[in-house]
Structure 1
Amino acid sequence: MTTFSYECLNKQGQTVKGQLSSDNVNHAVEKLRDMGLSVIDLKEVKQKQQSSFFSMQKKVTLGDLSLFSRQLSAMIGAGIPVTRAINTLSKQSENPTLRSALQSIARNVEGGMNLTDAFSAYPHIFSNLYVSMIRAGEAGGMLENSLLRLSEQLQKEKALKDEIKSATSYPKVIGIFALVIFTAMLTFLVPIFQGSIPQGTKINAITQFIFNASASLRTKPLLWLGVIAAFVAALVIFFRSS
């Protein structure tokens, strides 16, 4: 979906500004009209280019969302208006991605957008389930309870994810250790073994491949280092974006 920045007039003749996500400009205009707003200006928000290959937007974790949901529930229960509560929590958030989204959500709600649409404008942060719970809470006047249940559910998901991560950490360590041992064997042991083979001895394809890999590793260490570094970088990017 595309993010649009809008400037509109509400029914009281006041100018309101904000952002919303929609499939195209026509759908965006329809959404704004459904909100009772008259469009003055509507522009597509251009996404900033990444400054480098490794620069990535910080991911909003389950822990971030669980904490935010619990705090927002408590503030609403204390009688604090939703927009004020979201603004306050955005300033307290240590995650820049979540902070920016919350600031935009607060502006959109202040501009006349309902809370559900404001949250749904950030599908990369708030899942369909999250938005559905917000919608149900907003429609039934039970937003405080919906947010509290969301916080508890997110905390359970985080605990399960942490258990899985802990269970898979040991195989990762073993894999790294095996890679180090294999590299050491190619570098030091294989040349010794190769030197002990008499000249003219027929060598099978697998053994010859190992000898060639050993020679390449010893004569072109920078090339192998670059390949390994690129492979590790690709894995890091994959797991951070998944």
Structure 2
Amino acid sequence: MARFRYRAYQADGRVVSDFVVAGSEADAVRDLMTLGLTPFEVTEAGSASAGKSVSGGGKQPPRVLAGFCRNLASMLEGGLPLDEALKLLADDPEDKRVARLASNLRASVLSGRSLAEAMSELRAPPADYVIGLIRAGEEGGSTVPVLHRLANSIDNELRLAEAVRGALIYPVILLLTALVSIGIILLVVAPALEPVLESAGSNTPAAAAWLMGASHGLRDSWPVLTIGPLAIWLLAMSWSRTPAGRRSLSALVLQLPAVGPLVRDMESARCLSSLSALLENGVSLVPAMEIAGQGARNPLVRRSIDRITGEVRVGVRLSDAMMEDGFLPMAAAQLAAVGERSGDMATQLAQAATILETRSSRRIATLTTLAGPVMTLALGVLIGGIVLTLLSAIMSVNDLAL
């Protein structure tokens, strides 16, 4: 028995592609026709895997994928065939990464594969939900809207990620500045004042004595204090790449007071947007949920989507399954209920994704506004307290001399 990849017409004229196991190519064609399909391309899966080894490139950054989808959608919208549009993108000298991606995809498309199949055969393919959306668009005859929607979705994710990075820049600079200032005080200023404080003998203030002890400890154990955090960070990074580490880290992040709701909203918005696009292009609910769940980066969000999918598969309504699970935001379940009543689930889920994205943007703006002043105040109090301790110690020594 061999495994064959096929593309075939359904009774309604739509194109489907999948795999079938049969003894020969003729048996595969006969089995497909028995299922009511009209195959027009049947190839052994081994030949497809061979194409996979030559379709190359490392993992494409989201910005490259967004630019590729937007440019390709514009060319297809202008009436160009897929292979010609990919050729124009491959010949673009200004963006070499998009050109390399288009060139790899064009080689597979010219061999008879669809765009979704060509993407899935890359050495480092995009996320499953991206391939699922493109496959749904090709089968539903709406490739251009799907590509535009993918580009906009990736751009939204990039904007949120850039907002988070921008929110962290100022606090990180403040923290590094504070650490350098404290290091200078403990390693330079405190040792220079140590002879003056020692002259006070037992009358040295307790805070000054503690500060000198901290200075001695830092000078004596700086190798451990330098290598130790680095070793802990490397161990933590290795542990976070394991399945148990990812689950534990995801659970910790979701439990943080301000960050947890933000991450849950962002992940939920991504899944709901993908699910809406798949439903809009004719994919049934359960397969669409399976594809959308694979796009969640957080394992706990993916597990929640899987639980909801299992409930829907046995006949539970989507809104009831969401409310019973309780992990996704309530807005998603409420708008899913509206979609079930109106018969327009795709639009309502897209609205839910928009609401969650807007709420995430507001939370990021709030965190950005508060993070700087709070850290400035905290670090100012810390450094000011150290400086006041040194000054009070010097003043006490001068009082004793009088």
Aligned amino acid, residue 135 of structure 1: R
2:190·2:212 contact (CA, 8 Å) conserved in 1?
Answer: no
Summarize the Cα distance change of 1:175–1:96 in structure 2 as closer, same or farther, 3 Å threshold. Answer: farther
Max radius of gyration: which structure?
2
Match in the other structure for 1:148: 148
Aligned CA RMSD, in angstroms, stands at 4.4
SS in 2 for 1:79: coil
Match in the other structure for 1:213? 218
Q: Distance in 1 between matches of 2:62 and 2:106?
A: 21
Q: Secondary structure at the match of 2:184?
A: helix
Where do residues 19-34 of structure 1 align in structure 2 (5 Å cutoff)?
none
- Identity level (%): 20
Can you list the C-alpha shifts for 1:112-158, whole angstroms capped at 9, x where unaligned?
Answer: 22221211234855222211210111001110111111112222222
Specify the alignment match of 1:187 in structure 2: 187
**What is aligned with 1:87?**
87
Is the 1:190–1:211 contact (alpha carbons within 8 Å) kept by the matching residues of 2? no
- 8 Å Cα contact 2:67/2:98 also seen in 1: no
Map Cα deviations across residues 155-186 of structure 1 (whole Å, 9 max, x no partner).
Answer: 22222222222222111111121122122123
The 1:183/1:151 distance shift into structure 2, 3 A limit, reads: same
Q: Secondary structure at the match of 1:36?
A: strand
1:164 matched residue in structure 2: 164
Contact 1:119 1:126 in 2 (8 A): yes
Q: Which structure features the higher share of helix residues?
A: 2
Deviations 1:28-67 (A, max 9, x none): x99xx78523567949859x9xxxxxxxx98744332222
Measured against aligned partners, the alpha-carbon deviations of 1:79-130 in whole angstroms (never above 9, x if no partner) come to: 2121221232233275655543332211111112222121123485522221
Alignment map for 1:43-192 (pairs within 5 Å): 45=53, 60-92=60-92, 96-122=96-122, 124=124, 126-192=126-192
State the distance in 1 between where 2:52 and 2:63 align. Answer: 31
Q: What TM-score does the superposition give when structure 2 sets the normalisation length?
A: 0.39
**Which TM-score applies when normalising by structure 1?**
0.60
Equivalent residue of 1:164, what SS?
Answer: helix
- Residue pair 1:194, 1:211 contacting (<8 A) in 2 also: no
CA distance in 2, matches of 1:58, 1:190: 52
CA distance in 1, matches of 2:214, 2:197: 15
What is the total number of aligned residue pairs between the two structures? 192
Structure 1: 5+ residue runs without aligned partners? 1-26, 49-56
| Counterpart contact for 2:60–2:126, Cα < 8 Å | no
Aligned-partner residue type, residue 86 of structure 2:
I
Does the CA contact (< 8 Å) of 1:58 and 1:95 recur in 2?
no
Distance 1:109 1:187 in 2: 64
